[in-house]
Structure 1
Amino acid sequence: MSELQFRQAEAVGDFQLVVLTIVSLLLVAVYLYLKLVHTNKHKLNDGVKVLSKTRLSQHSVVYELCTEHRKYVVLESKFGVIELNGESLSHNGEHSE
């Protein structure tokens, strides 16, 4: 039998490193873009103000939100979001009866 000959593997060329770097940067850019889009979907509208935020437990929070015409108390938990009550507000900002 003849002897086995081992060839030394060639070093990775500069072109391959550039391509690998570009692909990696594109993947990171896509990840950050998708994360940004997901975050923007869950932001409140400009007309909604958070008056208070109270953490009840590890997985539940009560928010007191106010729009131009209504005031809401909302419970957010791992099971979803539930409106606890909604009070109508008059146009001058006081509670209507």
Structure 2
Amino acid sequence: MNELQFRQSEAVGEFQLIILAVVSLLLVAVYIYLKFVYVKSHEVHEGVRVLSKTRLSQQSVVYELCTDDKKYVVLESKFGVIELHGETLIKEVEQIG
């Protein structure tokens, strides 16, 4: 009777391992989302942020770019990069896409 007897705590230990595994998987999922999905949708290169990217065909893409104070619409094709000015050019490109 002088000896202490402890109950087995395997069920509690297994539950803690399951919680640890779930939290670890959640952290890995958040890391992957931030690394690959969020960063690609919020690309910033030398102070220029990509607001939207619209593929018109296999060889041409329209980007909407933003700097600190201005927005630009740029057409990238196999012929190079062209900044689109005015509402008519932008509407024409939207109709093509």
TM-score tier (shorter): 0.5 to 0.7
More helix by share: 2
13, 29, 37: which one aligns with 1:16: 13
SS at match of 2:31: helix
Unaligned residue ranges in structure 2 (runs of 5+):
1-7, 43-48, 65-70, 91-97
Residue ranges of structure 1 left out of the alignment (5+ in a row): 1-10, 55-61, 76-83
- Match in the other structure for 2:75: 72
Corresponding residue pairs, total: 69
Indicate the percent of aligned positions where both proteins have the same amino acid: 6
Of structures 1 and 2, the larger Rg is shown by 1
Taking structure 2 as the reference length, the TM-score comes to 0.52
- 2:50, 2:15 → 1: CA distance? 43
Please provide the CA RMSD for this pair: 3.1
Q: Which runs of 4+ in 1 moved over 3 A?
A: 44-47
Structure with more strand by fraction: 1
Q: Which residue of 1 aligns with 2:56?
A: 52
The answer as to 2:85 corresponding to 1:89 is: yes
TM-score w.r.t. structure 1 length? Answer: 0.52
Question: Shift of the alpha carbon at 1:41?
Answer: 0.8
